Amino acid sequence: MQRELCYEAFAVLHSGETRTPVYVAQLLNRRTIEQADEKRADKFFADARLPSSERAELEDYKRSGYSRGHMAPAGDMSTPTAMAQSFSLANMVPQNIQHNGGAWAKIEQDTRRYVLRAKGDVYVITGPVYTSSSPSIGANKVRVPTYLYKLVYDATTQRAWAHWQANREGERVGPPISYQELVKRTGIEFFG
């Protein structure tokens, strides 16, 4: 079961099967990033708009060895409400702790830097990719992604590229892949 959830600064297509986002979409521009200096909320919560049979709970992440990895980053949020909403577990995937604070954090920062230089709107779509060997955590069996991607589309230049990362320790930020390659790897035609 997939459900669409709208928040102030991002939208989630949520999977009741994996109990994580299918992907999360954001519209960013220089103004939104310049306003994004809100104090980090750090109050994670299960989204009550999702039936309990389809959502992750805080208990699922406890002692799992994984961090609650934001798909729409807290660092992109420009209001206290948007910041608080970004801590919904519907915006999270179980992420390798070292990866979340390392290569993935750098990709998030690099994306913000790009948006600050862009002439107009930039669409960012972030999501997990699972394989048959993807494990799960907690009583609700929240799936742990094997890969994560961040697709960046500059509406002014009409250029798109994606970062593709294995959800594991020791990942480095490599060169981005093309939009076509991302579609091939995920099976999702984002701008169809």
Phi and psi (nearest 5°) for 183? Answer: -60, -40
Nearest to 14 by CA among 1, 25, 27, 26: 1
Nearest to 120 by CA among 91, 153, 143, 83: 153
DSSP string, 81-106: HHHHHTTBGGGEEEEEHHHHHTHHHH
How far apart (Å, rounded) are the C-alpha atoms in residues 145 and 166? 8
- Please state the length of the chain: 192
Contact 122, 29 (CB under 8 A): yes
CA 179 to chain centre: 17
How far apart (Å, rounded) are the C-alpha atoms in residues 167 and 96? 6
Nearest to 50 by CA among 93, 22, 88: 88
Spot the catalytic one: 14, 70, 99, 163: 70
**Active-site annotation holds for 70:** yes
Active centre residues (catalytic): 70
